[in-house]
Amino acid sequence: MKKTDSLPPGLPLDAQGILELAARSMFHLFSSISQGMFLVDRTGRIVWVNEGYKRFLPALGFSSVDQFVGHMVEEVIPNTQMRRVLETGEPFLIDLLTNQAGTFVVSRIPLRDERDGRVIGAIGIVLFDHPETTLQPLISKFALLQRDLDDARRELASQRLGQRQSKYTFASFVGTSPAAVEVKRQARRAAQSLSPVLLLGETGTGKELLAHAIHASSARARGPFVSVNIAAVPDTLLEAEFFGVAPGAYTGADRKGREGKFKLADGGTLFLDEIGDMPQGLQAKLLRALQEGEIEPLGSNRLQSFDARVIAATSRDLAALVREGRFREDLYYRLNVLPIRVPPLRERRSDIPALVEVLGEDMALRSGGAQPELSAEGLALLSAQTWRGNIRELRNVLEQAAMRSDSPHIPRAQLLAVLREAGSEQLAGGALNGFHEDGLHVHTSAAIRPLAEQVAELEQRAITAALQATQGNKQAAARLLGISRATLYERLGGNV
């Protein structure tokens, strides 16, 4: 059989020649259009890398191809599944790989001997090296479907077990900004502990959502999640709400008694929202319950033990309340074991487009109508707000604007009218300059800049702050920002 390269021009290719030509063509195609490609032999030893893959080597700890080639693949590419491909002969056509070099969409394809079909090696192909941007629409849809699936599973579990369950996971906390990534990183670490968690942040930032997510990711996920908003319960009823009531404890009390939130949360998580509003008279009893793991229902002389992990949240400055003598110092230290500051929306403006997408989908599901659509100018307007009410305020503005609009498309002028009526039109950087009431440009030089430009500027500020905080240590800065070192290098434009 002649090789394809030696066939005379003009003669038809036989079947074997076509197959060889196709194989070479596909190999060269993938090598040229992919972000990187490498080959391993039957033992898993790397024997070749293409030019594109070389840029990942510094993040993997290698300064040259010669140092990289010759190693076993699992020794130099953490989390790879290439060994499984070699052992089973089954390809991974689409998979996500995450290691210190970043997060990638990859393919792994076995190579077989054409004579006996034995696996003689494999090809690893990096299809995308920034899936968070390249595949963002698909990832957003997947995250939404995953969130709905998780909600449905928890609802079924709740009905089956007859107990309270958490409603949200970390996928429900929308955002990929450095601030959002960092708070989710801290919350995931807190989920692995049994110590009390204190969520600090303004109203509407998602503290309760994070409390649900921490519980759902913890070892207590199968236990109940019990929530009590201290600010919403009259002071005179709080003690009964917390500790329960013994049968016939007082006139009109239930003959069977009533269990309090501590007992209901036994084996699970107790979420104390707005802990800063707790009356001082009850703070001492709460402290004792947390220290001793015991409660005494109203009207009872018998102590009841409980086992509940406590997550507290507040929008108030607890440290200031302690200094003013309005919150017990010992209770503060008991709760402030794992503090997590939940950033306000104005500190993660780059997340606003994704939040608008998710909130719009939720509004459409609840109302049965079409999902609201915003123009780039409308998104820029929302991204420029100070958002005193944070995500709760953002949702309110979207709902009002959608109700006033005759079509799914919400014009910028409609958003501006809602913001001004609410007294919320304080824009960052004078973004209102350059627009009439009808949204037409007046001064081009003062108009709102493109959203991508604003996001890039905020990103650079975050990177600069991280580098300053770590004295220029790029690996530590990347870890602080929740991104890979390779991604940090790319954002720095190669200035490493």
What's the pLDDT at 43? 93
Q: Is 338 helix (H, G, I), strand (E, B) or coil?
A: strand
To the nearest whole percent, how much of the chain has pLDDT over 90? 34
Residues 389 and 262 in one domain: no
What's the pLDDT at 443? 37
Instruction: Provide the whole-model pTM.
Output: 0.56
- What mean pLDDT do residues 240-252 have? 72
In this structure, what token pair is assigned to residue 287? 């402290």
Confidence band of 445 (pLDDT split at 50, 70, 90): very low
State pLDDT tens for residues 327-343: 999 999 999 999 999 99
Residues 6+ apart with CB under 8 A from 396: 389, 422
Q: Which domain holds residue 224?
A: 138-248+256-343
Question: 496 lies in a domain?
Answer: no
Residues 6+ apart with CB under 8 A from 73: 40, 44, 45, 46, 80, 82, 83, 124
Residues 355 and 414 in one domain: yes
Q: Which of 343, 368, 397 marks a domain boundary?
A: 343
What total number of domains does the chain contain? 4
Residues 482 and 338 in one domain: no
For residue 205, pLDDT beyond 80: yes
What's the pLDDT at 34? 84
Residues 308 and 177 in one domain: yes
d(CA 154, CA 32): 46
* Domain CATH for 51: 3.30.450.20
Question: 281 lies in a domain?
Answer: yes
Question: 19 lies in a domain?
Answer: no
What Å distances lie between residue 305 and 70, 93, 289, 308, 310, CA to CA? 60, 53, 9, 10, 15
Residues 6+ apart with CB under 8 A from 228: 241, 242, 261, 270, 271, 272, 273
194: exposed, middle or buried (C-beta count within 10 Å: 0-12, 13-18, 19+)? exposed
Residues 100 and 115 in one domain: yes
For residue 454, pLDDT beyond 80: no
To the nearest whole percent, how much of the chain has pLDDT over 70? 79
Strand partners, 228: 272
For residue 495, pLDDT beyond 50: no
Supply the DSSP symbol for 77.
S
- What is the per-residue burial (b if ≥16 Cβ within 10 Å, else e) of 376-392? ebbbbbbbbbebbbbbe
- CA dihedral (173, 178, 182, 184) in degrees, to 10, reads 10
More confident residue, 134 or 222: 222
Residues 113 and 146 in one domain: no
More confident residue, 65 or 449: 65
In this structure, what token pair is assigned to residue 347? 């500190």
| SS3 of the chain: helix, strand, coil, percent, to 5 | 50, 15, 35
Contact by Cβ (8 Å): 14, 3: no
Confidence band of 367 (pLDDT split at 50, 70, 90): confident
Q: How far is residue 305 CA from its own chain's centroid?
A: 36
Supply the DSSP symbol for 53.
G
Question: 392 lies in a domain?
Answer: yes
What's the pLDDT at 40? 94
Residues 45 and 155 in one domain: no
For residue 450, pLDDT beyond 80: no
Question: 7 lies in a domain?
Answer: no
Residues across the chain: 496
What's the pLDDT at 114? 81
Confidence band of 15 (pLDDT split at 50, 70, 90): low
Angle, helices 235-243/280-292, rounded to nearest 10 degrees? 10
Confidence band of 392 (pLDDT split at 50, 70, 90): very high
Question: 18 lies in a domain?
Answer: no
Confidence band of 298 (pLDDT split at 50, 70, 90): confident
- What mean pLDDT do residues 463-492 have? 75
State pLDDT tens for residues 397-438: 999 998 888 888 888 888 988 988 877 655 443 444 444 433
What Å distances lie between residue 34 and 28, 53, 98, 314, CA to CA? 10, 9, 17, 49
What's the pLDDT at 4? 42
What's the pLDDT at 155? 58
Question: 61 lies in a domain?
Answer: yes
Angle, helices 474-481/451-469, rounded to nearest 10 degrees? 130
Q: Which of 83, 109, 129 marks a domain boundary?
A: 129
Give the lowest-confidence range in 22-36, 197-211, 241-255, 272-286: 241-255
Average pLDDT, the chain: 81
In this structure, what token pair is assigned to residue 90? 């089954």
Residues 205 and 93 in one domain: no
Residues 366 and 271 in one domain: no
State pLDDT tens for residues 134-165: 666 665 666 566 666 666 655 555 544 445 56
Residues 172 and 270 in one domain: yes
For residue 395, pLDDT beyond 60: yes
Secondary element (H or E) of residue 452 = helix 451-469
* Domain CATH for 422: 1.10.8.60
* Domain CATH for 151: 3.40.50.300
Q: Which of 99, 129, 159 marks a domain boundary?
A: 129
Question: 486 lies in a domain?
Answer: yes
For residue 11, pLDDT beyond 70: no
Contact by Cβ (8 Å): 417, 425: no
What Å distances lie between residue 350 and 203, 229, 234, 282, 345, CA to CA? 20, 30, 39, 41, 9
Residues 174 and 291 in one domain: yes
Residues 337 and 353 in one domain: no
Contact by Cβ (8 Å): 166, 154: yes
More confident residue, 210 or 61: 210
